């Protein structure tokens, strides 16, 4: 791992750090999906998920997480909220996120599934690179479903 990079379990303090430099598209998605301020939504997501924060040179670059999709299924819902650092250091970010998705794979889920905005082509390329499939648009929304089936644990 790169010496300027630190990955650890995410906390509410990490959310506050990330919110200082959050990417505008991520803040907008959080507000649209959760119908409340982005910081409030991200605090709830971290509290309800297995979540990790990635620091680059002491600054919060991204928070990744996965939560159970339902108590009725063994599926997980992965998510990522990034700062402007992610866009400035794309190669480093790609290597790190592959490692973190690998950690999600070990948590006993049979499928990782969520959705991404239809206009976010950078996210679509990233998800495909990580082995996810991009599916159809969720009816009545601007979001596309994505998923990755995992080997049996």
Q: Where is pLDDT greater, at 93 or 39?
A: 39
Percent of the chain with pLDDT over 90: 62
Question: Over the chain, what is the mean pLDDT?
Answer: 90
Residues 6+ apart with CB under 8 A from 109: 66, 68, 74, 75, 76, 150
pLDDT at 101 over 90: no
- In this structure, are residues 138 and 145 in contact, taking their beta carbons and an 8 Å threshold? yes
Q: What are the tens digits of pLDDT across the range 71-93? A: 888 899 999 999 999 888 887 77
Domains and their CATH numbers in the chain: 5-108 (3.40.630.30)
Q: Strands across the sheet with 5-9, in order?
A: 5-9, 50-56, 59-68, 75-82, 111-117, 143-149, 133-137
């Amino acid at each position: 791992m790169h010496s300027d990079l630190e990955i650890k379990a995410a906390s509410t303090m990490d959310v506050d750090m990330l919110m200082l430099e959050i990417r505008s598209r991520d803040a907008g998605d959080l507000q649209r999906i959760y119908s409340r301020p982005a910081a409030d939504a991200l605090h709830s997501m971290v509290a309800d998920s297995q979540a990790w924060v990635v620091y680059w040179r002491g600054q919060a670059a991204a928070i990744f997480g996965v939560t159970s999709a339902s108590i009725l299924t063994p599926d997980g819902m992965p998510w990522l909220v990034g700062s402007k650092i992610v866009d400035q250091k794309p190669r480093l970010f790609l290597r790190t996120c592959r490692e973190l998705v690998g950690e999600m794979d070990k948590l006993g889920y049979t499928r990782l599934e969520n959705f991404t905005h239809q206009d976010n082509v950078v996210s679509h390329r990233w998800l495909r690179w990580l082995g996810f499939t991009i599916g159809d648009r969720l009816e009545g929304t601007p979001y596309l479903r994505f998923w990755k089936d995992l080997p049996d644990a």
